[in-house]
Structure formats: C-alpha cells, structure tokens
Amino acid sequence: MTPAPASGAKTDTTTTQSPVETAVADARFFRVLSDPTRLAILRLLLDGERSVSELVSILNVPQSRVSNHLACLRWCRFVEVDRVSRRGVYRIADPRLRDVLAVAQIVASDQCDHLSSCSRIGPDWI
C-alpha cells in the first residue's frame, strides 16, 4: 500500500492518473444536470421543441435565467437550436439523455427523503 509518490505524479502524459482526475470530466457532465432550472428545461424539451419564450412562460422564471442556462446546455451539446427569424427553437441534441434522466429519476425518487436533508450539498428544501 505504498503511496509511492514517484509512481504517480511525473510529467505524466497519459499514464497513471489518479481516479479523482479521471472523474473530473464525468463529474462535469453531472454538474450540468444538477441545476433545477436546467433539468426542468431538459425535461420539457424531451416532450418536444420549445422556443425561449415558451420556456419562460411555462417555467415562470426570468428570461435572462432561461437564456443563460440554455447557453450552457447548448455549449455542452445537450440541446440544439434552430432559428426561425428571431425565434429560437430548442430541442434535445442527444436522445440518450432520455435514458439517463429516466433511470436517475427512479433511483432519486427512492432516495428522495435522504437527498432532501443532506446538509453537505446545499440547504434543506423540504
């Protein structure tokens, strides 16, 4: 169980990355999904295309907030947009997203009570 500092951290181009570093990429994927507004947007889009203003009125939050989160989702390729004159119509870019959200929702609902009161990630919301 030698920590062996020599083994891991050289000018290590491809080898021996710590598991934590390897996880950074995927963690970021989950972080995109970890915001309630973004998640709500994605859920709506799973039911069909929507323009920004439609999202705003359905979600009932400020337009700047919706546009900001859409920019994030667009950049990270979770959604795509078509421009129809000045209207922007958004849709889900990767169909596999549906599976991720579906499985997650089932698991999450079972753990709901515990998730709600975990003081290590955000304040309680019950």
CA distance 65 to 67: 5
Query: Residue 19 touches which of DNA, its own copies, none (CB < 5 to 8 A by kind)?
Result: its own copies
Query: In this complex, which beta carbon is closest to its own copies, that of residue 11 or of residue 60?
Result: 60
How far is C-alpha 10 from the geometric centre of its chain's CA atoms?
A: 33
Q: Total binding residues for DNA by CB under 7 A? A: 31
CA distance 104 to 42: 14
- Nearest alpha-carbon partner for 101 in 67, 78, 82: 78
Beta bridge partners of 80: 91
Query: Residue 123 touches which of DNA, its own copies, none (CB < 5 to 8 A by kind)?
Result: DNA
Burial class (CB in 10 A: 0-12, 13-18, 19+), 41: buried
Residue 12 in the binding site for its own copies (CB under 8 A): no
Tell me which residues touch DNA (CB under 7 A).
31, 34-38, 51-53, 56, 61-65, 67-72, 81, 85-89, 120-123
Tell me which residues touch its own copies (CB under 8 A).
1, 3, 8, 18-40, 43-44, 53-54, 57-61, 68, 71-72, 75-78, 94, 96-97, 99-101, 103-112, 114-118, 120-122, 125
